[in-house]
């Protein structure tokens, strides 16, 4: 091969590389009147929390389906792009950058780790961000000005759980906290301990991280046993929590599980089995369908139209539906009060100033409200007991 | 014109030491330069962010290749060393108020020191045993940043928000210009890193690294100070890795332990295996390849979702499987990686129609 043809070959290769790298360019946009409103969803479908992450995502998409079928928000359709990030923070960051480039006006995220990792980014990009994470740090607009927490925080749920335990135990007892070994799991641990001190409860309190991928939690339970724990608060998703319930039943231990949020659902009961789950407590801020709140009617109508059996719809699905509902209401307010321009700051202002958002009794004590001082949407949560394979309401709208 | 090359021949030591021996290589250099300049004008913000991720990965992979590829000391501690760089730089700049460039420089030094410390077992251990020792360093550092006893790293939050990069009166701007401004910074640093690493191996120090890799006893016999060579390799390599870690922190504007796990160490090892062990260019190719791979798979899966829904619904699994498959294929087909493939292509054309 001659020198000139070599040069030509190299040049051709480089040109090809340039051409390839230019592929996929796509300008972002949004804002003009009739165009659909773009929302990016970062979902965990196959990762460590996929058991509750996928119904949550389905609930969100169902809500969007429902609202688009009704003609959209003020005549504008919602266009949601949902992608799996498998509970990996770097993947979430990659998806986030993609959504920003696509011109989304708001983002629905999922885990605590990735929501925290993205919080300063969404603040500088001015994109309202809701997620499946209810960590306390995200409710402070000083720290995270564009994060909105729809439900009571994990810490508030932990406080409600401790209040209940204090009452149930007659004022003294040992509490073991089993938590997911991640920012999500650790979120309420320290706040729980502070709460016991603050309230002057005579409760022992010890936290144990739950190693992932276990076949059983017998080892952890024996540690809790030597602590003398009668109550086990679990801050993890349903599948590992169900394993703990099974182990307790197998070993005939006298322990009561108090599940927070992501394990307080039907999946926990069905995975553990009706018998093993019997009598355990579930702190769940979103009312399950069996609680038959007013806000469930719209879901039931939707399910009927789609021919979906309501028995297959768990609480996580309802959570997804109503978190998306709160965001959609914010967007509706932004359109109504603004000049038709829908962007991040407008939605943020709408959410902060619109007052109470009605959820028909499904979320917390029924309504969600944000303000410029606090992005804590609600403090009330339902308390349920697993009874005969169902979630039976013990108390609605319990606050710390 | 009608000449056929028989190879690249040197007639003097100076000629052999030159970084580039043929005119085609200069043309390629010019094209690379043009490519680097053109990229910000043709890519949108999302692809720019991937370009930036690649540039950081290049610095880290070059650093790892100095240790693993050139000196033959297997390291599984990459994630931990990245973390040392990231945390050091952020704590020095945001909490102690040092100018960011100085903080990054000190982070490089700090990582080099930590790397040297964890390199000490390398004086006695080789091969798999050293791999396990560096695995321990990864686990120890990960444990420290994850548990954060005493809250001295993150103040109890579990993560640190990093201020937007600014130095000498310059401040990186909002989302319209963010990626492009970072690109300039990262491109300069990546080029400097590559040039620096490339030049190390034209010096006695670099050759002593390679002598250690090829046969440590022989190296000692010809006068290489094994202790010094190995520890210097750990220090130099960790310095590069610390730079990559510090840049990751300031670029992504958040530091949390989840970004510095063992998986990251393995990803970087995969980069240099796929790219080519013992070659700076290989580290660059590997960084580009392994960063683009998951993105390309996702785009392909999204495009094919209507035809093959399985691809979309099981995307992370597909990505992991492809990741493993790529490494195995490279080990079977071309263990010396992309760099060797590129050299073979070049040789094919250079020697055509003959094969040498």
Residue B151 lies in a domain: yes
> Is residue B336, in this structure, part of any structural domain at all?
no
Nearest Cβ partner of A1 from B45, B161, B349?
B349
Any domain includes B165 = yes
Instruction: Please give the torsion angle defined by the CA atoms of residues B294, B298, B299 and B300, in that order, rounded to the nearest 10 degrees.
Output: 100
What pTM does this model have?
0.85
Each domain of chain A, given as residue ranges in start order, spans 37-152+293-379, 154-284
Look at residue B2 in the predicted model and tell me its pLDDT.
44
Across the interface, whether the CB atoms of B252 and A93 are under 8 A apart is answered yes
DSSP H or E run through A203: strand A202-210
Asked if the structure places residue B337 within a domain, the reply is no
Nearest residue, CB atoms, B46 vs list A9, A83, A98: A98
In 3D, which of B35, B55, B48, B32 has the Cα closest to residue B287?
A: B55
Cα–Cα distance, B276 to B302 (Å, whole number):
30
- For range A285-311, the mean pLDDT: 88
Q: What is the pLDDT of residue A73?
A: 87
| B116 belongs to a structural domain | yes
On the question of a common fold for A37-152+293-379 and A154-284, the answer reads: yes
Is residue B256 less than 8 Å (CB to CB) from chain A? yes
- Is A279 an 8 Å CB contact of chain B? no
Range with the poorest average pLDDT among A189-193, A346-350, B314-318: B314-318
Look at chain B and report how many structural domains it folds into. 1
Contact B256 A17 (CB under 8 A): no
Nearest chain A Cα distance for residue B10, angstroms: 18
Order of all β-strands in the sheet with A37-43: A78-84, A37-43, A106-108, A129-130, A147-148
- B15 part of a folded domain: no
Predicted pLDDT at B79: 94
Which residues pair with residue A172 across a beta bridge?
A202
What ipTM was assigned to the predicted interfaces of this complex? 0.82
Q: Which residues of chain B are modeled with pLDDT < 50?
A: 1-2
The architecture of the domain spanning A154-284 is 3-Layer(aba) Sandwich (3.40)
Residue B320: inside a domain:
no
Fold exhibited by the domain A37-152+293-379: Rossmann fold (3.40.50)
pLDDT in tens, A302-318: 999 988 888 888 889 99
Q: CA of B252: which chain A residue's CA is closest? A: A121
* pLDDT score recorded for residue A338: 75
3-state DSSP call for residue B153? Answer: coil
Q: pLDDT, tens digit, for every residue of A332-343?
A: 888 888 776 788
Question: Cβ contact (<8 Å) for A89 and B317?
Answer: no
Question: In angstroms, what CA-CA distances link A144 with A74, A104, A357, B96, B280?
Answer: 29, 19, 21, 22, 41
| Beta carbons within 8 Å of B212's beta carbon, 6+ residues apart | B71, B72, B219, B224, B226, B229, B230, B233
Tens of pLDDT along A112-159? 888 988 988 898 889 999 988 888 888 888 888 999 998 889 999 999
Q: What is the mean pLDDT of chain A?
A: 85
Residue numbers of the domain that contains B184: 22-261
Taking the CA atoms of residue B14, residue B20, residue B22 and residue B24 in that order, the dihedral angle to the nearest 10 degrees is -170
Tell me: cis bond preceding A119? Omega within 30 of 0 counts: no
Q: Which B residues, 73 through 102, put their C-beta within 8 Å of a C-beta on chain A?
A: none
Q: What is the pLDDT of residue A226?
A: 92
């Amino acid at each position: 091969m001659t020198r000139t043809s070599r040069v030509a070959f190299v040049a051709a290769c480089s040109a090809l590389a340039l051409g390839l790298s230019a592929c996929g360019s796509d300008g972002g946009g949004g804002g003009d009147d009739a165009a659909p409103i773009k929302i990016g969803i970062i979902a965990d479908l196959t990762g460590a929390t996929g058991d509750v992450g996928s119904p949550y995502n389905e609930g969100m998409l169902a809500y969007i389906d429902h609202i688009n079928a009704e003609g959209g928000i003020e005549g504008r359709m919602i266009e949601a792009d949902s992608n799996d990030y498998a509970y990996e923070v770097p993947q979430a960051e990659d998806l986030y950058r993609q959504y920003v480039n696509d011109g989304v006006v708001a983002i629905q995220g999922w885990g605590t780790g990735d929501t925290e990792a993205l919080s300063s980014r969404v603040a500088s990009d001015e994109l309202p961000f809701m997620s499946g994470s209810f960590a306390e740090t995200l409710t402070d607009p000083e720290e995270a000005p564009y994060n909105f927490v729809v439900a009571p925080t994990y810490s508030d749920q932990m406080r409600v759980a401790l209040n209940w335990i204090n009452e149930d135990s007659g004022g003294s007892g040992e509490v073991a906290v089993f938590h997911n070994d991640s920012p999500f799991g650790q979120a309420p641990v320290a706040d729980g301990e502070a709460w016991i001190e603050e309230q002057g409860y005579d409760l022992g309190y010890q936290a144990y991280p739950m190693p992932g991928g276990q076949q059983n939690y017998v080892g952890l339970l024996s540690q809790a046993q030597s602590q003398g724990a009668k109550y086990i608060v679990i801050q993890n998703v349903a599948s590992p929590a169900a394993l703990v319930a099974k182990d307790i039943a197998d070993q005939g231990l006298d322990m009561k599980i108090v599940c927070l949020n992501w394990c307080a659902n039907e999946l926990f009961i069905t995975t553990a089995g009706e018998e093993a789950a019997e009598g355990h407590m579930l702190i769940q801020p979103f009312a399950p369908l069996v609680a038959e709140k007013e806000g469930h009617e719209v879901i039931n109508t939707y399910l009927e139209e789609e021919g979906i059996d309501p028995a297959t719809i768990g609480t996580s699905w309802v959570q997804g539906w109503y978190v998306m509902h709160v965001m959609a209401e914010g967007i509706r307010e932004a359109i109504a009060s603004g000049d038709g321009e829908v962007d991040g700051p407008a939605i943020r202002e709408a959410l902060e100033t619109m007052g109470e958002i009605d959820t028909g009794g499904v979320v917390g004590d029924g309504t969600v409200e944000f303000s410029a001082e606090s992005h804590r949407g609600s403090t009330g949560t339902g308390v349920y007991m697993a009874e005969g394979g169902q979630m039976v309401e013990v108390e609605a709208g319990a606050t710390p | 014109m009608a000449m056929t090359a028989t190879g690249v021949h040197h007639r003097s030591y100076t000629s052999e030491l030159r970084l580039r021996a043929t005119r085609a290589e200069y043309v390629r250099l010019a094209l690379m330069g043009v490519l680097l300049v053109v990229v910000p004008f043709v890519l949108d913000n999302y692809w720019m962010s991937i370009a930036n991720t690649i540039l950081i990965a290049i610095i880290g992979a070059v650093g790892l290749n100095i240790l693993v590829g050139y000196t033959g000391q297997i390291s599984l501690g990459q994630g931990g060393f990245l973390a040392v760089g990231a945390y050091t730089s952020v704590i020095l700049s945001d909490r102690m108020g040092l100018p960011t460039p100085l903080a990054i420089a000190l982070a490089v030094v700090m990582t080099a020191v930590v790397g040297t410390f964890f390199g000490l077992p390398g004086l006695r251990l080789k091969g798999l045993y050293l791999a396990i020792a560096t695995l321990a360093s990864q686990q120890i550092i990960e444990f420290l940043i994850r548990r954060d006893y005493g809250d001295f790293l993150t103040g109890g939050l579990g993560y640190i928000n990093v201020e937007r990069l600014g130095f000498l009166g310059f401040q990186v701007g909002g989302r319209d210009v963010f990626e492009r401004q970072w690109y300039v910074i990262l491109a300069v640093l990546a080029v400097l890193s590559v040039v620096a690493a490339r030049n190390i191996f034209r010096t006695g120090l670099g050759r002593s690294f390679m002598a250690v890799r090829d046969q440590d006893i022989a190296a000692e016999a010809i006068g290489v100070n094994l202790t010094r060579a190995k520890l210097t390799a750990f220090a130099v390599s960790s310095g590069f890795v610390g730079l990559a870690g510090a840049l990751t922190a300031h670029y992504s504007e958040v530091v949390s332990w989840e970004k510095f796990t063992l998986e990251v160490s393995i990803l970087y090892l995969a980069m240099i295996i796929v790219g080519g062990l013992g070659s700076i260019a290989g580290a660059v190719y590997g960084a580009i390849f392994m960063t683009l791979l998951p993105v390309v798979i996702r785009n392909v899966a999204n495009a094919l979702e209507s035809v093959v829904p399985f691809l979309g619904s099981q995307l992370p699994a597909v990505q992991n499987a492809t990741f493993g498959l790529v490494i195995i294929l490279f080990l079977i087909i071309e263990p010396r990686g992309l760099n060797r493939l590129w050299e073979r292509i070049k040789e094919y054309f250079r020697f055509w129609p003959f094969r040498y």
